[in-house]
Amino acid sequence: MEWLKITTNSEIIRIPTDEIIFIKGDGNYSDIFLANGKKENVISQLHDLMDKLTTLNYNPFYRVGKSLIINRNYVFKVNPGLQRIILSNSRLEKDILIKASKDALKKLKEKLETETEEELTLAKELITEKEGGNS
């Protein structure tokens, strides 16, 4: 399991990356939305969090526009025309609808269409490993 670690003057926050559904940035602050329904507000700019996420062995995160990072493992539907993305997973109680620009969603759609088999195989292995570890 990989972790996102955020350190401030007073604390360190460790979040399992597979629990992160999406991150919404607002200036010097970011809200990290988790699969368990919780939200962590951190003092960190979105680009700094993205820099940390790009160092992961398996990086399912994708920057969508200026203020959003999504975990593409939770992407259920992308509709650039309606300017929305739906995030879903069996672990979530309900689907999450997020608005984003047409251009950002077109790029996300293209990225998802061109995912390599290697990326998909690695994702499946990590999911299987996690499920096996919980038995």
pLDDT, tens digit, for every residue of 10-60?
Answer: 999 999 999 999 999 999 999 999 999 999 999 999 999 999 999 998 889
User: In this model, does residue 132 exceed pLDDT 70?
Assistant: no
Q: What structural domains and CATH numbers belong to the chain?
A: 3-133 (2.40.50.1020)
What does the pLDDT look like over 80-108, one tens digit per residue?
A: 999 999 999 887 888 999 999 999 999 99
Closest to 61 measured CA to CA, from 12, 115, 116, 22:
22
Question: Is residue 115 very low, low, confident or very high in pLDDT (cuts 50, 70, 90)?
Answer: confident
At residue 62, the pLDDT reads 95
Give yes or no for residue 2 having a pLDDT over 90.
yes
pLDDT of residue 116: 65
